[in-house]
């Protein structure tokens, strides 16, 4: 196998800056969001659904995570607009936590910011 010269090495592929791995970042949307839940063919009645808690989180390690609620599609309205990216909410205190762009912590979880305003949680 012939050795690559400097010119051939530069043509071999796109130059990458330090720290870029070439692997795309995972998308921040997905089934883990509060407002995104699988839709069922039959519409469940209100008796089939558990009551929505005052505070709810999508993180299973959180003490505010209720798995039974996520079996049904949940919607969040914040200041009159429906939000699709809510990770945690509290109706009584009037705040939601949403990802801060594409920033992630050292464990790969999105960094969250707290937004304050009027919060309404409902089943779709």
Burial class (CB in 10 A: 0-12, 13-18, 19+), 12: exposed
Looking up tokens 């959180």, which residue turns up? 62
pLDDT tens string 16-75: 555 555 555 544 444 455 544 555 556 556 678 999 999 999 999 999 999 999 999 999
pLDDT in tens, 81-97: 999 999 999 999 999 99
Q: What pLDDT is recorded for position 4?
A: 46
Q: What pLDDT score was predicted for residue 60?
A: 93
Q: Is the pTM of this model over 0.75?
A: no
Q: Where are the domains of the chain?
A: 28-123
């Amino acid at each position: 196998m012939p050795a690559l010269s400097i010119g051939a090495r530069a043509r071999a592929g796109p130059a990458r800056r330090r720290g870029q791995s070439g692997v795309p970042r995972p998308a921040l949307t997905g089934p883990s969001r509060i407002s995104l839940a699988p839709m069922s063919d039959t519409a469940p009645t209100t008796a089939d659904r558990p009551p929505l808690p005052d505070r709810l989180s999508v993180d299973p390690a959180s003490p505010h995570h209720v798995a039974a609620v996520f079996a049904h599609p949940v919607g969040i309205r914040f200041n009159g607009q429906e939000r699709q990216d809510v990770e945690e909410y509290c109706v009584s205190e009037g705040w939601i936590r949403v990802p801060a762009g594409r920033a992630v912590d050292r464990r790969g979880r999105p960094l969250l910011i707290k937004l304050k305003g009027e919060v309404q949680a409902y089943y779709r």
